[in-house]
Amino acid sequence: MLTYSEWCDKAAADKDLVEELKAMAGDEVRIEDAFYRNLVFGTGGLRGVIGAGTNRMNIYTVAKASQGLANYVNTIFQEKDRKIAISYDSRIKADLFAKVAAGVFAASGIKVFIYKELMPTPCLSFAVRELKCAAGIMVTASHNPAKYNGYKVYGADGCQITTEAATTILDEIEKVDIFEDVRNVDFEAALQAGSVEYISENVYTKFINEVLGQSLISEDDEIDKNVAIVYSPLNGTGRAPVTRALKEAGYSNITLVKEQEMPDGNFPTCSYPNPEIKEAMALGMEYAKKCNADLLIATDPDCDRVGIAVKDSEGEYVLLTGNQTGCLLLDYVCSMRVKNGTMPADAEVVKTIVTTDLGEQIAKSYGVKTVNVLTGFKFIGEEIGRLEKQGKADSYIFGFEESYGYLSGSYVRDKDAVDGAFLICEMFAYYKTRGISLLDKLDELYKKYGYCLNSLHSYEFEGSAGLEKMNGIMVAMRQNTSEIGGLEVVQVNDYANGIDGLPKSDVIKFYLEKKCSVVVRPSGTEPKMKMYVSVSAGDKVEAENIEKRIVSFMEQKFK
């Protein structure tokens, strides 16, 4: 195969790749999987398995993407505005990929600002805006297993790039020969020359202060900040900013999960470092039991998602879903703003179409408008930007998505687990001081608005065959689906056609009888099909039975 041969001849700058290419020799299946396509560059940037080949994350695919982005910036922006901010998380080779990208940008005449050490995704979004950059990149694969890495691209507004920008950047990337057309300069040399500059501590401190500024506690509010908190950064970027924010806010009784405290891209204690799943939270739960903690918090590797567990009436720890935590936070934000007289007259909450409809009911009860956007926090960020352009940035009071992403301010344009962790601790301590648990509060919401069960199911489809399979599933789902799990389909929203002014997207939402729904979409960043089930019922048992029927029916369709 010509491409494989080219790589064997020319990909000599990384000894790990050289060894891997040698090991592939004669293995046609392995070679095909590594080279059958270029790693997909979408609205989320790049994400893939680390290794040799055009379909892998390595210094060459990163450099090629960076050259395409550099060419885009040099074409679109005036010389004085040609600046790019860079951050990276704890993943394998993340620091190397960040420095390779910096070298490409610097060689292309673009000023580079890079964090001196790993920093969360929200810190990157903040730096783009604070330093008035044309773009930003975050080297991360978010919550994926250790074999993955990725490369998120941000626009000048601090949001992940739009579909239109991604298309233009992709055009530029495709013009670049991966070995012949990439400009580069040594990172250390660029640092000495001043074309690359470390982001100042002052920018980081400003970010922390913005997080602290999200507090909803007034001077008259009594709150016990000595609550016992167990925190796990899941071997990612959250340790420094989360603990700093909490300690500066007065929360001193914090225990870190030692095995998951320091950055480690191998994620030795959990193969899938995602606070959405029970396995990733297991070690933290053990710590919580040993410490008799009031609250367990965990953030994913790039610290834009946060998961929690709290004690029930029997003293057992219960994990809350992203929807549950989001609804609790929304109700807390609204109630405190009303109490303190800080609720804007035209207040707005923003959520994604796959996020629980309970959020809309809560907002409505406070007279707050709900805006529903496509899956992906960048659409929430874009809505904040729209409000800002209208001079209504203060109208935005909260945004959330079911995948454990929250943001209560407009200082960044992506989900922020530093803000999420801070606000969760404040909410927890405020209620605990008044003898109310988060589970009590959740039951109160269910009694007021009705019981709601939401679940997310992911199905992996690896390689070229998997991509074809996912496409076939979406085609089939668009054809004559009249009932799901014994419930009649009463309405179908096919977002591929564009609905409610939203961009076209390969997403289908089935509205079922009895106020239930199912959303199906292929992931834009992973080889997965995702299914979101929402069930309304009289109680938990009934809801769980209906959900099982729906899931069983859908899984047959996915085989």
- Per-block mean pLDDT, blocks of 10 residues, the chain (559 long): 88 96 94 93 90 97 98 97 98 98 98 98 98 98 94 96 92 96 97 98 98 96 96 98 98 97 97 94 97 97 98 94 97 98 97 91 96 92 95 96 96 98 98 97 92 89 82 88 94 87 88 90 80 88 94 90
Structural domains in the chain, CATH included, are 2-199 (3.40.120.10), 210-448 (3.40.120.10), 450-557 (3.30.310.50)
Q: Give me the pLDDT at residue 510, please.
A: 93
List CB contacts of 468: < 8 A, sequence separation 6 or more.
none
List CB contacts of 103: < 8 A, sequence separation 6 or more.
184, 185, 186, 187, 190, 196
Phi, psi of 373 (to 5 degrees): -125, 170
8 A C-beta contact, residue 231 and residue 281: no
Q: Give me the pLDDT at residue 527, please.
A: 79
Plot region of 457 (φ>0 → left; ψ -120 to 50 → alpha; else → beta): beta
Which residues are designated catalytic? 142
List CB contacts of 165: < 8 A, sequence separation 6 or more.
72, 155
What is the DSSP-derived secondary structure letter of residue 248? H
Residue for token pair 């090629």: 64
Query: For residues 544 and 186, what is the distance between their CA atoms, to the nearest angstrom?
Result: 57
Indicate the pairing of strand 451-460 with strand 528-537. Answer: antiparallel
Task: Write down how long the chain is.
Answer: 559
Number of other CB atoms surrounding residue 164 within 10 Å: 10
**Furthest-apart CA atoms within the chain: distance in Å:** 73
8 A C-beta contact, residue 190 and residue 112: yes
At residue 160's C-alpha, the angle toward residues 59 and 496, to 5°, is 110
Number of other CB atoms surrounding residue 9 within 10 Å: 10
What amino acid is encoded at 7 in this protein?
Answer: W
Residue ranges in 261-357 assigned as alpha helix (H): 278-291, 322-340
Q: Give me the pLDDT at residue 464, please.
A: 73
User: Taking Cα atoms as reference points, which of 505, 514, 511 lies closest to residue 532?
Assistant: 511
Q: Give me the pLDDT at residue 508, please.
A: 93
List CB contacts of 502: < 8 A, sequence separation 6 or more.
373, 374, 379, 495
Residues 376-401 as b or e (16 or more Cβ within 10 Å = b):
bbbbbbbbbbebbeeeeeebbbbbbb
> 230 forms bridges with which residues in the sheet?
255, 296
